[in-house]
C-alpha cells in the first residue's frame, strides 16, 4: 500500500468514526431535547403497564380420553404497591385471612418495582372475590385476576406417571432468563410426564403493553402478543383399570404394572404409597406437602420404574435360559436336591427354600417348584459372565427407554463389574447367589415386566410406551437367543401356575391358562420382597403383569394371590372381552 | 530480583499520558454512574468497579512493560488459550442450565469472550502484518476470516449475540487498514447479506425476537419491546440538563433490566441530560482522536493493525450500546466500554489501551 493510499484509508476511517459519533449526538438531541418533554411526561406518570397473558398448560388424558390433568380457574388477589393505600391493609387482612404485617411486608418489598403487581393470595374463594369487588372503589391498586391453576380431577390416580408441578427454582429461572419462557414465580414439571413433556405442555406466555390513565385504567394497547397454549398429551394408561388395581393393591407398599404385549403400551402403573398431585399446586396444602416429603416410605418414589430390588427367584428365568440356550445343561438332565448344595465337601451349605429338598428335578420341575439347588448347579456350570450376558439379553441391567424421568438402569454384576466396583475378585459362592437372583443383582419391576414380555412374545416385543406421542413405534431390542430355548422356558413357566406343585398356583384363574414366575427375594433383617410376574393367555399372549410387594413375604403366597385379584379385576373392567383363549371372543 | 527503578523506567518513559488519562476519566464517570444505578441493590457495585479499575491500571502497566512486540510473539498461544476458555464456558453451560458466559473462579467471574477479542486482534495483526498484501491476497483474506470465525461460533453458542457480532467490524477494519482490495470487502458484504437466512435459522427464538423488536415492538411486548421503550423513556426524560445525580426515576423504579451493565448509558442520560450525554460522547471522541494518533506515529504494519482493531472494537461497542438505548440499534447486549459494570470488560479495555501506549512508546525510541 502506498503512503497515499494508507493516508486515504485512515482518513476515511477517521471520517467514519467521527461521523458516526456526530450521528449519535444528533439522535440524542432528538430524543432528549426535541422529544424530551414527552418522554419526561411518560416517565413521571409511569403510564406504561405490563399484563401477562398466561398460556394454559396442556391437558393430560388417559388412553380413552378421560382427563387426568387440566387447568381450573383460580382467583388470585394482586396489589400494585404504588397505587395501594396502606389504610386498606386492615380490611384486606380480615378478608384474606393474612396477617397485616405480612401483607405490608409483601407490598413494600424493596427489591420489586412499585408498578409490578404483587401476588397477595392465590386461589381465594368466590365469597372473598365478592367482598373485594363490593369495596372496589376504595381499594385502589387491588385487583382479582383469574389465572389457570393445575388440577388433577382423579386425585391420586396414576400419580407417579403424571408427576407433579413445583415452583421454578432460582437457578432454573436464571438458566432460561434469556429465553424468557418462565417467570420467576412460574411452575415447572417436577416428575412424571409433567416433567418429561414440560416443553410441550407449557406453551408460551403472551402479554400486553398498555398505557393507563391516572386512575390506572387502560387507555390503549401499545403492543400485544397472544399466548400459545400448551399441547395436550394422551397417555397409554387406562385410568379405570389403574384405579381398580390401585384399590386392589390397597395399603401394601410396592408396584403393579400391566403391559399390553401387542402394542407395548403400559395400561397400568401403580406404585404405592401414592400421592395427590393437587397438593403441590393448591395453596394452603403446605402441611400435607410436608407430610409427603417427610413420609419415610417416600410416596413420591415411583417403585415400578425408578428403583431396584433383588429379583430373587424371578431371576431363575435368566439362569434357566442360559442353561437351555448354551446347551451346557440339557433340559432333561436331573440334579438331586437334598435341601442344600455344597460347592465342595468343605464349603458351606447353600440352602434350598424347601427343607427336605425336591429330590431329582429336571429344568421344568425346577422352574415349576423354584428349586434353588438345581439353579445352583446350573449357575456353577455356566459361570457369572454367561449369566450376566443372558440377563442383558433379556434387558436386565439396561434402562428401559420410557417417557418417564429417573428410569433405574438396574445392576447386573459380572467378574469385571465386581473388580471395578469392589476391587475384589469374584467368588464362586457369589455365582450361586447370582443364579437365584440374590447378591448384587437389582432390577426394577418394569425391567422384570419387559423380560417377561420378551419371553412371552418370543423376542418380538414392541417398544414400551406410556405416552402416545404419535411417533412410529419401534421394537424392543430382540434378544440374541434361539427361539426354541424361549419356547421351552415358556412351557416351564406355565407349569408354575397351572400344576399343583407350581409355586405360583395361587394366581391360577379358571378362564384362561397363565404362565409366570414367583420370587421371594431375601432382604434381611426385614421380611423378603414378594414378586410375581407373568403373561396371559398362554397360547396367545396379550398381557404381561408384574407385582412387587416390598417386604411382602413369600412371593408364591402374597404376590401370586394379589396377581390373581388383579387379573380378576382386569376381567371385570373388560380387559379380556375380545381376547381369544381368555373366555372372550371364542366363547 | 524485582528492580523497581528499572521497572518504572521501562513503563513510564515516553508514556502516552493523554490517552491513559482519557481512559481513566471515562472509567471514573462509569463508577459514578454505577453508584447511582446500583443503589438499593445488594453488593457494592461501585466499590467493586473501582477495585477493578485499580486491577485494570496495573494490568495496563504490565502490558506496557512487556511491550506489544513480545505479546505479538505469543499471539497464537493467546488465541489457542482463549478458544480453550470459550470451550470451557460452553461445557460449564451444559452443566448448568442454559446460558453461561462466565467461568467462576472463587468470587470472580471471568468472561473469556472479552479476552478473546484481544487475542483475535493480536492474531490478525500478527498474521496479516507479517505478510505482504500484494501476493496471495485471497488466501490471506480467507485465513483471516477463518481465524475470526472460530471464536465467533463458540461465543454465539453461549449464547452472546452482541459480542459475536462485534468481531465482524473488527475484522473489516483490520483488513481495510492492512490494504485489502476493496472489492473483497464489497463481495464479502454481499455474501453476508445473501447468507443472512442461514444465520437467521441458527438463532434462538428469543434472539430473533430481540432483533425483530427493533422493527416491530409487537413481537415481544413484555421483553425486549418493553426494554426498548423504557430505555428510550429514560434517555428522553433526562431532557437538556438532566434530573441530577442520583435523581433518575426510571432507574429507581427498575423499569430497566441490567441498568448497571448494558443500560448504564440510560442512567447517565437520565440524570445528566443531553449535556451529560454529549460530554460522554466528547470524551469518547477524545479517546478515539488519541488512539488514531497512534496509527500515524508508527511504521510497523502489525502495530497499525493492532490499533485499527482496538479502535474498531471500542468504537463499535460505543455506537451499538448508545444506539440501542435511543432505538437506533437492536438490543443485543453489549457493555459500554470503560463505563459498564464488569471486571472482564474493563480489564480488556485497559489491556487494549496498554497495547496502544506500548506502540506509542516504541515509536518514541527512534
Q: What is the pLDDT of residues B30-61, one digit of tens each?
A: 999 999 888 767 778 899 999 999 999 999 99
- Confidence check: pLDDT of B216 > 90: no
Nearest to A171 among B97, B269, B315 (CB): B97
Nearest to A24 among B133, B232, B322 (CB): B322
Question: Which residue is closest to B270 within chain A, CA to CA?
Answer: A32
Q: In terms of CATH architecture, what is A49-83+96-235?
A: Alpha-Beta Complex (3.90)
A39 part of contact set with chain B, CB < 8 Å: yes
| Residue carrying the nine cell digits 417403585 | A303
Residues of chain A with Cβ-Cβ distance to B204 below 8 Å are 178-179
Residues of chain A with Cβ-Cβ distance to B177 below 8 Å are 6, 9-10, 13
Query: Distance between CA B308 and CA B319 in Å, rounded?
Result: 16
- Confidence check: pLDDT of B236 > 50: yes
- Confidence check: pLDDT of B366 > 60: no
Q: Are the Cβ atoms of B322 and A42 closer than 8 angstroms?
A: no
Q: Are the Cβ atoms of B230 and A48 closer than 8 angstroms?
A: yes
Q: Choose, out of A24, A177, A207, the residue to mutate when testing the contact with B (most B CBs < 10 Å).
A: A24
A483 part of contact set with chain B, CB < 8 Å: no
A10 part of contact set with chain B, CB < 8 Å: yes
**Mean confidence (pLDDT) of chain A:** 89
Q: What pLDDT does A459 receive?
A: 93
Q: What pLDDT does A376 receive?
A: 95
Angle at A91 between CA A85 and CA A96, to 5 degrees: 110
Q: What pLDDT does B94 receive?
A: 63
Q: What pLDDT does B320 receive?
A: 92
Structure confidence at residue A348 as a pLDDT band (50, 70, 90): confident
Q: What pLDDT does B348 receive?
A: 95
Most confident range (mean pLDDT) of A209-213, A214-218, B55-59 is: B55-59
Query: Distance between CA A493 and CA B18 in Å, rounded?
Result: 92
CATH class of the domain defined by A239-274+296-572: alpha beta
- Among A42-51, A166-175, B311-320, which stretch is predicted with the lowest mean pLDDT? A42-51
Structure confidence at residue A183 as a pLDDT band (50, 70, 90): confident
| Residue carrying the nine cell digits 488466501 | B139
| Rounded average pLDDT over A193-205 | 92
Region(s) of chain A under CATH 3.90.1310.10: 49-83+96-235
Structure confidence at residue A228 as a pLDDT band (50, 70, 90): confident
Strands A233-235 and A60-61 turn out to be: parallel
- Confidence check: pLDDT of B97 > 60: no
Q: Choose, out of A11, A168, A175, A223, the residue to mutate when testing the contact with B (most B CBs < 10 Å).
A: A223
Q: What pLDDT does A395 receive?
A: 95
Residues within 8 A of B (CB atoms), A 372-411 only: none
Q: Are the Cβ atoms of A178 and B273 closer than 8 angstroms?
A: no
A26 part of contact set with chain B, CB < 8 Å: no
| Rounded average pLDDT over A135-139 | 79
A3 part of contact set with chain B, CB < 8 Å: no
- Confidence check: pLDDT of A587 > 50: no
Structure confidence at residue B289 as a pLDDT band (50, 70, 90): very high
Contacts of B105 (CB under 8 A, 6+ apart): none
Structure confidence at residue A586 as a pLDDT band (50, 70, 90): very low
> Does residue B3 belong to any structural domain of this protein?
no
| Rounded average pLDDT over A200-207 | 87
Nearest to B274 among A10, A29, A172 (CB): A29
Q: Are the Cβ atoms of A177 and B99 closer than 8 angstroms?
A: yes
Region(s) of chain A under CATH 3.40.710.10: 239-274+296-572
Terminal-to-terminal C-alpha distance of chain B = 29
- Confidence check: pLDDT of B360 > 50: yes
Residues of chain B with Cβ-Cβ distance to A31 below 8 Å are 232, 235-236, 326-327
| Rounded average pLDDT over A245-274 | 96
| Rounded average pLDDT over B259-273 | 87
Q: How far is A60 from chain B (nearest CA, A)?
A: 26
Helix (H) or strand (E) holding B290: helix B264-297
More confident residue, A286 or B308: B308
Q: Which of B346, B321, B26 is nearest to B165 (CA)?
A: B321
The percent of residues above 70 in pLDDT, for chain A, comes to 95
| Residue carrying the nine cell digits 398381557 | A543
> Does residue B143 belong to any structural domain of this protein?
yes
- Among A192-206, A209-223, A255-269, A301-315, which stretch is predicted with the lowest mean pLDDT? A209-223
A48 part of contact set with chain B, CB < 8 Å: yes
Residues of chain A with Cβ-Cβ distance to B274 below 8 Å are 28-29, 32-33, 36
- Residue pLDDT, tens place only, B149-159: 999 988 887 77
Structure confidence at residue A389 as a pLDDT band (50, 70, 90): very high
Q: What pLDDT does A36 receive?
A: 83
Q: Are the Cβ atoms of A178 and B315 closer than 8 angstroms?
A: no
| Rounded average pLDDT over A33-62 | 82
- Residue pLDDT, tens place only, B71-96: 999 999 999 999 999 988 888 766 65
**Backbone φ, ψ for residue A165 (5° rounding):** -105, 155
- Confidence check: pLDDT of A250 > 90: yes
| Rounded average pLDDT over B233-242 | 85
Q: What pLDDT does B109 receive?
A: 72
Structure confidence at residue B362 as a pLDDT band (50, 70, 90): confident
Residues of chain B with Cβ-Cβ distance to A113 below 8 Å are 253-255
Structure confidence at residue B363 as a pLDDT band (50, 70, 90): low
> Does residue B311 belong to any structural domain of this protein?
yes
A175 part of contact set with chain B, CB < 8 Å: yes
Nearest to B319 among A20, A40, A46 (CB): A20
Q: Are the Cβ atoms of A32 and B269 closer than 8 angstroms?
A: yes
Residue B202 CB-density burial (10 A; 0-12 exposed, 13-18 middle, 19+ buried): exposed
- Residue pLDDT, tens place only, A59-118: 999 999 999 999 988 898 888 777 777 788 888 888 888 888 888 887 776 555 566 678
Report DSSP letters for A74-100, one per residue: EEEEEE-GGG--GGGHHHHHHHHT--H
The percent of residues above 90 in pLDDT, for chain A, comes to 61
- Residue pLDDT, tens place only, A449-506: 999 999 999 999 999 999 998 777 788 899 999 999 999 999 999 999 999 999 999 9
- Residue pLDDT, tens place only, A100-114: 888 888 777 655 556
- Confidence check: pLDDT of A397 > 80: yes
> Does residue B45 belong to any structural domain of this protein?
yes
More confident residue, B258 or A563: A563
Supply the DSSP symbol for A349.
Answer: P
C-alpha cell at A456: 412371552
CB-side neighbour CA atoms (13 Å) of A565: 15
More confident residue, B105 or A358: A358
Domain that holds residue B102: 16-365
Q: How far is A24 from chain B (nearest CA, A)?
A: 7
Residue A130 CB-density burial (10 A; 0-12 exposed, 13-18 middle, 19+ buried): exposed
Question: Which residue is closest to B220 within chain A, CA to CA?
Answer: A225
**Mean confidence (pLDDT) of chain B:** 85
Structure confidence at residue A208 as a pLDDT band (50, 70, 90): confident
Contacts of A22 (CB under 8 A, 6+ apart): none
Q: Which of B136, B161, B130, B165 is nearest to B148 (CA)?
A: B165
Q: What pLDDT does A20 receive?
A: 93
Q: Are the Cβ atoms of A28 and B278 closer than 8 angstroms?
A: yes
A5 part of contact set with chain B, CB < 8 Å: yes
How many H-runs (helices) and E-runs (strands) does chain B carry?
A: 16, 2
A54 part of contact set with chain B, CB < 8 Å: no
Q: How many domains does chain B have?
A: 1
Q: What pLDDT does A337 receive?
A: 94
- Confidence check: pLDDT of B237 > 70: yes
> Does residue B11 belong to any structural domain of this protein?
no
Question: Which residue is closest to B278 within chain A, CA to CA?
Answer: A25
Task: Tell me how far CA of residue B136 lies from CA of A555, B128, B142, B172, B319, in angstroms.
Answer: 82, 11, 10, 18, 34
> Does residue B8 belong to any structural domain of this protein?
no
C-alpha cell at A86: 396502606
Amino acid at each position: 500500500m502506498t503512503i497515499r493510499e494508507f493516508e486515504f484509508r485512515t482518513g476515511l476511517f477517521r471520517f467514519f468514526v467521527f461521523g458516526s459519533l456526530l450521528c449519535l449526538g444528533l439522535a440524542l438531541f432528538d430524543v432528549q431535547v426535541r422529544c424530551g418533554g414527552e418522554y419526561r411526561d411518560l416517565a413521571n406518570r409511569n403510564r406504561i403497564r405490563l399484563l401477562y397473558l398466561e398460556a394454559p398448560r396442556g391437558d393430560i388424558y388417559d388412553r380413552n380420553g378421560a382427563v387426568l390433568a387440566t387447568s381450573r380457574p383460580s382467583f388470585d388477589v394482586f396489589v400494585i404497591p404504588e397505587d395501594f393505600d396502606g389504610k386498606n391493609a386492615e380490611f384486606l387482612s380480615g378478608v384474606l385471612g393474612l396477617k397485616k404485617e405480612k401483607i405490608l411486608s409483601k407490598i413494600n418489598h424493596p427489591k420489586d418495582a412499585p408498578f409490578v403487581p404483587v401476588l397477595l393470595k392465590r386461589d381465594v374463594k368466590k365469597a372473598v372475590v365478592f367482598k373485594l369487588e363490593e369495596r372496589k372503589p376504595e381499594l385502589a391498586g387491588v385487583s382479582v385476576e383469574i389465572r389457570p391453576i393445575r388440577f388433577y380431577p382423579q386425585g391420586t390416580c396414576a400419580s407417579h406417571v403424571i408427576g407433579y408441578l413445583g415452583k421454578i427454582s432460582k437457578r432454573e429461572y436464571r438458566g432460561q432468563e434469556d429465553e424468557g419462557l418462565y417467570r420467576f414465580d412460574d411452575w415447572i414439571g417436577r416428575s412424571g410426564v409433567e416433567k418429561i413433556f414440560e416443553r410441550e405442555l407449557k406453551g408460551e406466555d403472551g402479554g400486553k403493553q398498555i398505557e393507563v390513565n391516572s386512575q390506572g385504567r387502560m387507555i390503549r394497547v401499545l403492543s400485544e402478543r397472544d399466548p400459545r397454549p400448551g399441547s395436550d398429551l394422551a397417555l397409554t394408561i387406562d385410568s379405570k383399570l389403574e384405579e381398580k388395581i390401585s384399590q386392589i393393591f390397597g395399603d401394601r407398599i410396592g408396584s403393579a404394572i400391566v403391559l399390553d404385549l401387542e402394542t407395548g403400551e403400559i395400561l397400568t402403573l401403580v406404585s404405592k404409597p401414592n400421592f395427590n398431585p393437587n397438593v403441590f399446586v393448591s395453596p394452603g396444602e403446605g402441611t400435607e406437602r410436608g407430610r409427603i416429603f417427610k413420609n419415610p416410605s417416600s410416596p413420591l418414589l415411583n417403585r415400578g420404574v425408578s428403583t431396584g430390588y433383588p429379583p430373587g427367584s424371578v431371576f431363575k428365568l435368566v439362569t434357566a435360559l442360559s442353561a437351555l440356550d448354551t446347551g451346557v445343561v440339557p433340559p432333561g438332565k436331573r440334579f438331586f436336591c437334598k435341601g442344600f448344595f455344597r460347592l465342595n465337601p468343605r464349603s458351606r451349605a447353600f440352602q434350598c427354600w424347601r427343607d427336605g429338598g425336591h429330590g431329582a428335578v429336571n429344568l421344568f420341575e425346577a422352574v415349576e417348584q423354584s428349586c434353588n439347588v438345581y439353579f445352583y448347579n446350573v449357575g456353577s456350570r455356566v459361570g457369572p459372565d454367561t449369566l450376566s450376558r443372558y440377563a442383558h439379553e433379556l434387558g436386565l441391567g439396561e434402562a428401559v427407554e420410557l417417557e418417564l424421568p429417573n428410569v433405574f438402569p438396574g445392576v447386573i454384576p459380572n467378574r469385571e463389574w465386581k473388580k471395578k466396583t469392589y476391587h475384589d475378585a469374584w467368588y464362586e459362592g457369589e455365582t450361586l447367589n447370582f443364579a437365584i437372583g440374590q447378591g448384587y443383582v437389582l432390577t426394577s419391576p418394569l425391567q422384570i415386566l419387559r423380560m417377561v414380555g420378551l419371553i412371552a412374545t418370543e423376542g418380538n416385543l414392541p417398544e414400551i410406551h406410556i405416552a402416545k406421542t404419535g411417533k412410529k413405534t419401534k421394537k424392543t431390542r430382540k434378544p440374541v437367543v434361539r427361539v426354541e430355548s424361549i419356547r421351552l422356558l415358556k412351557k416351564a413357566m406355565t407349569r408354575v401356575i397351572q400344576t399343583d406343585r407350581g409355586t405360583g398356583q395361587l394366581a391360577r384363574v379358571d378362564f384362561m391358562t397363565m404362565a409366570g414366575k414367583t420370587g421371594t427375594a431375601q432382604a434381611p433383617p426385614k421380611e423378603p420382597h414378594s414378586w410375581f410376574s407373568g403373561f396371559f393367555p398362554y397360547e396367545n399372549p396379550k398381557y404381561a403383569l408384574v407385582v412387587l410387594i416390598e417386604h411382602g413375604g413369600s412371593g408364591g403366597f402374597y404376590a401370586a394371590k394379589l396377581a390373581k385379584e388383579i387379573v380378576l379385576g382386569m376381567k371385570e373392567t373388560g380387559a379380556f372381552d375380545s381376547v381369544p383363549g381368555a373366555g372372550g371372543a371364542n366363547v | 530480583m524485582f528492580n523497581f527503578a528499572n521497572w518504572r523506567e521501562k513503563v513510564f518513559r515516553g508514556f502516552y499520558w493523554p490517552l491513559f488519562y482519557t481512559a481513566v476519566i471515562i472509567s471514573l464517570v462509569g463508577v459514578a454512574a454505577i453508584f447511582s444505578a446500583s443503589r438499593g441493590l445488594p453488593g457494592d457495585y461501585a466499590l467493586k468497579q473501582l477495585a477493578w479499575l485499580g486491577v485494570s491500571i496495573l494490568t495496563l502497566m504490565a502490558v506496557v512493560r512487556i511491550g506489544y512486540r513480545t505479546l505479538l510473539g505469543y499471539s497464537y498461544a493467546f488465541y489457542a488459550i482463549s478458544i480453550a476458555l470459550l470451550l470451557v464456558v460452553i461445557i460449564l453451560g451444559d452443566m448448568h442450565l442454559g446460558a453461561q458466559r462466565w467461568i467462576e473462579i472463587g468470587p470472580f467471574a471471568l468472561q473469556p469472550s472479552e479476552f478473546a477479542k484481544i487475542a483475535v486482534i493480536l492474531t490478525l495483526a500478527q498474521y496479516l502484518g507479517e505478510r505482504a498484501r500484494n501476493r496471495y491476497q485471497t488466501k490471506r483474506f480467507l485465513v483471516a476470516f477463518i481465524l475470526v470465525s472460530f471464536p465467533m461460533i463458540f461465543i454465539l453458542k453461549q449464547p452472546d449475540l452482541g459480542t459475536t457480532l462485534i468481531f465482524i467490524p473488527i475484522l473489516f477494519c483490520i483488513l481495510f487498514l492492512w490494504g485489502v482490495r476493496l472489492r473483497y470487502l464489497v463481495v464479502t458484504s454481499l455474501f453476508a447479506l445473501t447468507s443472512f437466512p442461514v444465520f437467521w435459522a441458527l438463532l434462538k427464538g428469543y434472539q430473533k425476537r430481540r432483533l425483530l423488536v427493533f422493527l416491530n415492538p409487537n413481537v415481544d411486548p413484555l421483553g425486549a419491546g418493553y426494554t426498548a421503550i423504557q430505555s428510550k423513556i429514560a434517555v428522553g426524560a433526562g431532557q437538556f440538563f438532566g434530573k441530577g445525580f442520583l435523581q433518575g426515576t426510571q432507574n429507581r423504579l427498575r423499569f430497566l433490566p441490567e441498568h448497571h451493565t448494558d443500560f448504564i448509558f440510560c442512567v447517565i442520560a437520565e440524570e445528566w441530560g443531553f449535556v451529560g450525554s454529549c460530554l460522554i460522547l466528547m470524551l469518547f471522541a477524545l479517546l478515539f482522536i488519541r488512539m488514531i494518533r497512534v496509527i500515524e506515529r508508527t511504521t510497523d504494519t502489525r502495530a497499525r493493525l493492532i490499533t485499527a482493531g482496538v479502535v474498531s472494537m471500542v468504537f463499535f461497542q460505543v455506537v451499538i450500546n448508545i444506539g440501542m438505548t435511543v432505538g437506533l440499534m437492536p438490543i443485543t447486549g453489549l457493555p459500554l466500554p470503560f463505563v459498564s459494570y464488569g471486571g472482564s470488560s474493563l480489564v480488556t479495555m485497559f489491556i487494549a489501551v496498554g497495547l496502544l501506549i506500548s506502540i506509542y512508546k516504541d515509536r518514541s525510541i527512534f
